[in-house]
Amino acid sequence: MRRWKYMGEQVLDHGYVSLVETWGSDKTIIESARMSTGKGFLGWGPMHKTDCPRRQMLGSGVRVACDCKEPGDEKLLAYLYKHHHTTPFEMAGATFEIQAPIFVFREWHRHRTQSYNEMSARYIPLPDISYMPTIERLQMEGGANKQAQGSGKVTNAIATNFQSDLEEFYITVERIYQEALRNGIPKELARLVLPVSRYSRMRASANLLNWIRFLRLRAAPNAQWEIQQYANQVSIQLEQKFPRTMHLFLEEQDEHGRTS
């Protein structure tokens, strides 16, 4: 089986999520929100007396600190987020490269606020890599996800047999696929035999607001387990670049978990 080089953090057996680039920052969100007042970014707090925006200057130019000690711009960031003033969060964003089974992409592409460009089997053959669920995954209970609920009677033997059947199926599919390509069948038709478990690659780009909307749905307990793993990795990598905004998102998720 040919392997693809992992470009980022591994997800599932052969997938990955890699952060390609970001634009903007938590600070950019504040600056965008304050365009209406012209104040700009004042700083993360709590502010010390010497950097309070209300400090005054004497005629001699000596700076006199006022007596206030205020929260910094994280207070505004939280207000914007919690009261759904969403436009400033559109001023930052990120692009990811993702390697995932096609069935994961079919769910992912329902988020039409993202921009996509996926590897095309019309132009190049897809490498021989398909998703193989683990025994534990095959025995997993559905929980909040009704679509994932099985009979609850998946023994180790049943799960192992399913894996074996899948492996045999993948070998047969690859043989038919490669034979079709060798015989001159157009790539766009030879791919008809490929299952949705075959891995593909894409780049996905969106502003931060729409990444958060994606995470609300795909990191939720009722999402399919496989796409949850990708959403969780997207969240981790966004947190490295937008720590304050993502902290608010994670707080929101915790609160939803306590009240749902």
Residue matched to tokens 């009979």: 151
Q: Find, among 13, 3, 80, 20, the residue nearest to 234 by Cα.
A: 20
Task: List helix spans (H) across the chain.
Answer: 26-33, 74-82, 102-108, 135-138, 156-182, 187-190, 208-218, 225-241, 243-259
Active site annotation includes 218:
yes
Most distant pair of Cα atoms in the chain: their distance: 88
- In terms of C-beta density within 10 A (0-12 exposed, 13-18 middle, 19 or more buried), how is residue 252 classed? middle
* Marked catalytic residue, from 191, 198, 201, 218: 218
Instruction: Name 94's bridge partners.
Output: 22, 206
Q: In 3-state terms, what secondary structure has residue 231? A: helix
Q: Give the C-alpha separation, 63 to 3, whole Å.
A: 64
Burial annotation 130-166 (CB, 10 A radius, 16+ → b, else e): bbebeeeebbbeeeebeeeeeeeeeeeeebeeeeeeb
Residues annotated as catalytic are 218
